[in-house]
Amino acid sequence: MKWTANFLSFGLLAAFVSAAPVAERQLDLYELQISCPANKNVDGRFLSLKNNTLGVFDGDDVSPVQVYPVESDKEGCNELHTYPVGIVDHSIGLMGPPGLLDLVDMTNPRTVQPGEGTVAQWDTFRISDGKLSNDVDGQWLAFPSQGNSWTLKWSDGSAMITADSMIVNVMYKSAGEGRYNGD
């Protein structure tokens, strides 16, 4: 009988704790915008997500991807996690063969195991003067896709590049505030 009383009091305590409000943390949100004055079809457009790839896409069903920065373990670098925050962690990252990496959405990036001959980076973004770059020297390139859509890649200059690509800058623009329950 004594253990029943202890168990019931524990149950009441657990119910009280679970009913307590969860502290919210404020997040500074950002959107990523293409700057390419030489091509008015791309200049000023915001990056969105389609089939795990980031780029600028046509259609009514696309909206700018929002990210919030988290300081990386690598000095001077950031991770860019996507918002809204869900049960599964999503971060933007760079993946592909060395030299030319696709900008993609990574699910649980800490657990991503790239295949042989493939690179996966998600904690190497640098933010400076309102621009997004990578810790590895290089540049952003936009490649044409279907219609008036473009996908983004990071090139370190060592890979063969097709003539239909163009150099762009990725601007880091404030998108307001978001909320995150946790910690």
Burial zone of 21 (CB within 10 Å; 0-12 exposed, 13-18 middle, 19+ buried): exposed
Backbone angles phi, psi at 48, to 5 degrees: -130, 180
Query: Residue 44 carries which DSSP code?
Result: T
Provide CB contacts within 8 A for 2, sequence distance 6+.
none
| CATH no., domain 28-178 | 2.80.10
| pLDDT score, position 147 | 85
| pLDDT score, position 65 | 95
Q: Maximum CA pair distance of the chain?
A: 80
Give residue for tokens 């042989």: 116
Burial zone of 120 (CB within 10 Å; 0-12 exposed, 13-18 middle, 19+ buried): middle
The string of DSSP letters for 65-118 reads -EEEEEE-SSTT-EEEEEES--SS-EEEEEEESTTEEEEEEEESGGG--PPTT-
| pLDDT score, position 11 | 45
Distance CA 73, CA 89 (A): 17
| pLDDT score, position 168 | 97
Q: Model's pTM, two decimal places?
A: 0.82
Here the tokens at position 172 are: 């880091």
| pLDDT score, position 181 | 60
| pLDDT score, position 24 | 65
pLDDT profile of the chain (183 residues), mean per 10: 47 40 73 95 94 90 92 96 90 95 94 89 95 96 92 94 94 87 56
* Model confidence pLDDT, tens digit, residues 134-152: 999 999 999 999 888 999 9
Distance CA 144, CA 160 (A): 16
